Structure 1
């Protein structure tokens, strides 16, 4: 294997590969095309570091997804990944304090420990991981670098076994943002959600046949309540009603609240809040459900332009949907 295959990573002037935080889409693409990949998992951190245990990178030919430090180690990890792909032998890498590679320094002053393992295109574990994501089930990738398996179930983001060495990395369903509406504010929120790697679905009742002029996972022209019933809702889903028409958004809100969506909001003036709450109570919403509803969503003080309002709402969505480990 020629390490030069990874020069795009080691020498990247614009390392946008680090924007991708979930390696599963890149894994699914590679597996679907019959290509083996190298999966790198940050399994231990000492001291300060930009990413915590559980962060991952995926190397597929000359392409990468994810990042660990933003320093120089990504290129070195890529070189080791090339060898892992060539000989199938996993590597356990140590950077920073106590590392054998004194020429590779971390500006944060800590230490990072990374497992790099080969994932074959016919890997049952990889197929199971992708299936769990598609079906929106929590699972864990359990590996010693050679033997890999996937088990359903919860757990910490990253659990480490020392004797024998093994990692168990939890995968949650992909974070999903459903926005109903078609005005500039709704479109700005959907665009930001898509750029921020959310599985973004735009619902515009009776909207135009043509899809929006930016990428979304799905575009639906149905009523929000019908769309949410079709899509299915879970705690990794956020719904924002932004049609400004209660006969559209209230049904979507009720669906989202009753199915325990992780974040539920309606955009509108404060003066409409009491009327909306009364309508939801009349439709059967409980006080506990209504307590979870954001009727004036977003971060105050950012401004009222579409991008400013959308930014404030997306911040709240991220806070609500990120796993507890990300808040620590």
Structure 2
């Protein structure tokens, strides 16, 4: 699966390769409540076909209608605002007083979409600078903390895997987690030195390595945009990797297993001289409580909790497996 923004770029590249005119729409700024975040993208073909989203529907309808009536006539980028008045807010599905600012860019071979996609295929983080007066585009390497901005007459957008996820174990659950995480703009690496698990692993866009998990975590130099999930049920593989991850700047570290087995895991990790603050960072049992039973449902619960932590949702608003019980009084989590 591709992320939405990657799908937009790939579709636009295909339209251009087929000799069709198209334009790229990017959310530049929002005020008040807005259905889509800054950086969200949409591509519109000359026949009105569309991929992506910038508002959730109503603004897209207006942009499509403009193209169908007048075609794609822009030769340079243009900044448009929607929802300034209460009437417009109601018309375009924005809360009263909400405003969204869009950059509309006519695409061509000079827009660098093919080169951008090639760099993204190599898992690079890329800054794309669009000159708003001329439409000229330059591509450069972006730092991990780079964000979209408009400055000095240019729109600078950031593309690529801004977040990294390291999964220990190449089992069925890992496959579901990796698939969904890849669509969420994570660069996913799966680590499993066991041949019986990794031999049949084939998931496009997901890197598989056979080194020892703790070596991988050390070499990865985890930062605040990194997450680690231990999903093997094997302490020999999970524990050392967790020890290194909990000492790092990773924003999320989680481990599968029941409450009992995670309590035992924490006791083992204490032997590695982890302090209470470091141990408190471990999410185990991993995931939010949603009554999940199947591997696919468990993957959703894990990624839901990761997303909540990434977005700064207070722990008090999260309900995880450690705190949730089924009506029968048994733990609703994955058991060892």
TM-score by length of 1: 0.68
Q: 1:210 aligns with which of 200, 211, 217?
A: 200
1:23–1:217: structure 2 CA closer, same or farther, 3 Å change rule? Answer: same
1:42 aligns with 27
Q: 1:51 to 1:226 in 2, by over 3 A?
A: same
Distance 2:116 2:176 in 1: 35
User: Measured at CA, do residues 311 and 292 of structure 1 come closer, stay the same or move farther in structure 2, by a change above 3 Å?
Assistant: same
* CA–CA distance in structure 2, aligned partners of residues 58 and 26 of structure 1: 10
Query: Which residue is 2:76 aligned to?
Result: 89
Aligned-partner Cα distance in 2 for 1:262–1:22: 24
Aligned equivalent of 1:106: 92
1:155-234 matches, within 5 Å, as 157-160=147-150, 166-169=154-157, 173-206=161-194, 207-212=197-202, 214-229=203-218, 231-234=220-223
SS of the aligned residue for 1:314 comes to helix
Distance in 2 between residues matched to 1:276 and 1:288, nearest whole Å: 15
Q: Deviations over 1:136-164 (max 9, x none)?
A: 66868464353555685688955456xx7
8 A Cα contact 1:45 1:53, kept in partner: yes
What's the offset of the Cα at 1:189?
A: 2.5
State the match for 2:54 in structure 1.
68
- Of 223, 234, 249, 2:238 maps to 249
Tell me: CA distance 1:39–1:299, structure 2 relative to 1, closer, same or farther (3 Å): same
- Seen in structure 2, the aligned counterparts of structure 1 residues 311 and 258 have a Cα distance that, compared at 3 Å, is same
Aligned residue for 1:115, secondary structure, equals: strand
- Provide the secondary structure at the position in 2 that maps to 1:200: strand
1:202–1:216 CA contact under 8 A, matched in 2: no
- Secondary structure of the residue aligned to 1:235 is coil
Paired residues in the alignment total 303
Q: 1:235 aligns with which of 217, 224, 246?
A: 224
* C-alpha separation in 1, matches of 2:266 and 2:112: 49
- Are the counterparts in 1 of residues 44 and 64 from structure 2 also a CA contact under 8 Å? yes
1:251 to partner: Cα distance: 2.3
Q: Distance in 1 between matches of 2:83 and 2:18?
A: 35
Counterparts of 1:266 and 1:57, CA distance in 2: 37
Decide which of 52, 58, 76 is 2:37's aligned counterpart.
Answer: 52
Deviations 1:181-220 (A, max 9, x none): 24443333333324545333333332242224x5452223
Partner of 2:331: none
Contact 1:201 1:217 in 2 (8 A): yes
The worse-fitting range, judged by mean Cα deviation, of 247-256 and 167-176 is 167-176
Shift, 1:179, TM fit? 2.0
Q: 1:159 to 1:198 in 2, by over 3 A?
A: closer
**Shift in CA distance, 118/216, structure 1 to aligned 2, threshold 3 Å:** same
Distance 1:121 1:319 in 2: 39
What corresponds to 2:264 in structure 1? 275
8 Å contact kept, 2:26–2:54: no
Contact 1:200 1:217 in 2 (8 A): yes
Shift of 1:20: 0.3
